Structure 1
Amino acid sequence: MSTDAPVFDPALPHRCSPRVAVRPEPFGALVYHFGTRRLSFLKTPQLVEVVSGLERHPSVHAAIEAAGVEEAQRPAYLRALAGLAANGTIEERP
């Protein structure tokens, strides 16, 4: 089965899409994608820290590490980030 969507690889560098606005909130953040006009939620401040830190790190794994995400929580964060990649909120850096 062929798909047009790239596979999310957390070993690669990523960034928040330039077409996305992130508005911090007490619970985490609201994320608006100007291309798809889709509103999403980042449900924890730590996830906001990971997403906003992607640009500064050589991989998604490094951004998760830098944000201090506990080892037991990392699979859940990777699933959340894969979903954000699938909907265009984050993207692989060129």
Structure 2
Amino acid sequence: MFDAGQPYRCSPQVALRPEPFGALVYHFGTRQLSFLKTPELLDIVRSLEHHEDVGAAVDGAGVPPRRRAAYLQAMAGLAAAGTIEPR
């Protein structure tokens, strides 16, 4: 179960390709292609290893407080898909 208060990282099986809308995400283990729909979401995923937990990474990306819940929900989806994983 996803916990935003825990440390995560981008899975080593994932490749991120930045795009103007955010990023393309390819998971080599599942061969699944997905999207990060905002540049901020890409910044969060890339910075996970430099923050004590997911919530700190969201805050560090400058996400406005009114949008924080939506970004945490997106991160939970990325965890469920295996894009990010506990470290």
Tell me the TM-score range normalised by the shorter chain.
over 0.9
Q: Give the drift of 1:67.
A: 0.4
Structure 1 outlier segments of 4+, above 2 Å: none
* Structure-1 separation of matches of 2:64 and 2:55: 12
Q: Which amino acid aligns with 2:63?
A: V
2:80 to 53, 68, 86: 86
Classify the secondary structure of the residue corresponding to 1:80. helix
- The residue number in structure 1 matching 2:14 is 20
User: What residue in structure 2 maps to residue 61 of structure 1?
Assistant: 55
Identical aligned residues as a percent: 66
Structure 1 segments unaligned to the other structure (5+ residues): 1-6
Q: How far apart, in 2, do the equivalents of 1:78 and 1:62 lie? A: 11
Deviation at 1:75, TM superposition (A): 0.6
2:3 aligned partner: 9
Could you tell me which amino acid in structure 2 is paired with residue 71 of structure 1?
Answer: P
- Amino acid in the other structure paired with 2:67: Q
Q: How far apart are the structure 2 equivalents of 1:37 and 1:12?
A: 27
Q: CA deviation at 1:43?
A: 0.4
- Per-residue deviation at 1:29? 0.2
1:16-49 deviation digits (Å, cap 9, x = unpaired): 0000000000110000000000001000001100
Question: Which is greater in Rg?
Answer: 1
- List alignment gaps of at least 5 residues for structure 2: none
Instruction: Report the counterpart of residue 71 of structure 1 in structure 2.
Output: 65
Higher normalized helix content (fraction of residues): 2
